[in-house]
């Protein structure tokens, strides 16, 4: 694993933005780093919508919000002093996305944490940065936490958890 290849996993939350800002502040002006900002799609729950059109519209709205966040993350990193060609963004759609059906590469959605770690392994990223959402211990126990799962399952890499 290459420690100068850094993967920042985001979900467009405030804590994700803090993780991006942390990397920009820490590495700004440094050279030799390659940074990828990654989002694994978690589409809106289909059962919450009265019809297919409403579900697709919600998916489109969500995708626009996430893609805007990813562009802003890239801007933050480059404004912080990282070379524009050293920063990439990637949006991995869900395999049953209402917006991106039939994408060449997609997440089956069983575990966002495992998807992040598979991406990290495939890309030879030596450092993984993730924000901590700040869920309570009870919520984490009941619903799980992507950050907790990533820190428990990560191998052969450094994990930075930004709160």
Residue pair 6/32 in contact by the 8 Å Cβ criterion: no
pLDDT at 143 over 50: no
If one compares 109 and 134, the residue with the highest pLDDT of the two is: 109
Return the CA Rg of the chain. Answer: 16
pLDDT at 1 over 90: no
Residue 44's pLDDT band (boundaries 50, 70, 90)? confident
| H or E stretch at 160 | strand 158-162
| H or E stretch at 8 | strand 2-9
How confident is the model at residue 144, as a pLDDT? 55
- Tens-place pLDDT, residues 75-133: 999 999 999 999 999 999 998 888 877 777 888 878 899 999 999 999 999 999 998 86
If one compares 47 and 36, the residue with the highest pLDDT of the two is: 36
Residue 89: C-alpha distances to residues 77, 86, 108 (Å): 11, 10, 20
| Secondary structure of residue 105 in the 3-state scheme | coil
pLDDT at 137 over 50: yes
Residue 110: C-alpha distances to residues 5, 30, 52, 56, 95 (Å): 26, 37, 22, 21, 11
Q: Which of 77, 73, 74, 81 is closest to 29 using CA atoms?
A: 81
Average pLDDT, the chain: 89
> How is residue 32 written in tokens?
């030799």
Give all strands (DSSP E) within 10-155, no chain letters: 34-40, 87-92, 125-131
């Amino acid at each position: 694993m290459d420690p100068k290849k850094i993967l920042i996993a985001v979900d467009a939350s405030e804590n994700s933005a803090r993780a991006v800002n942390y990397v920009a502040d820490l590495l700004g002006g440094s050279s030799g780093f390659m940074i990828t900002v990654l989002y694994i799609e978690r589409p809106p729950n289909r059962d919450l919508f009265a019809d297919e059109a409403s579900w697709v519209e919600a998916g489109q709205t969500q995708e626009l919000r996430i893609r805007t966040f990813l562009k802003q993350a890239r801007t933050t990193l480059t404004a912080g002093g990282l070379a524009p060609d050293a920063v990439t963004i990637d949006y991995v759609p869900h395999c049953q996305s209402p917006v991106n059906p039939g994408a060449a590469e997609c997440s089956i959605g069983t575990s966002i944490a495992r998807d992040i770690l598979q991406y990290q392994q495939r890309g030879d990223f030596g450092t993984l940065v993730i924000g901590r959402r700040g869920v309570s211990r009870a919520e984490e126990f009941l619903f799980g936490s992507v950050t907790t799962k990533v820190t428990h399952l990560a191998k052969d890499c450094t994990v930075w958890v930004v709160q």
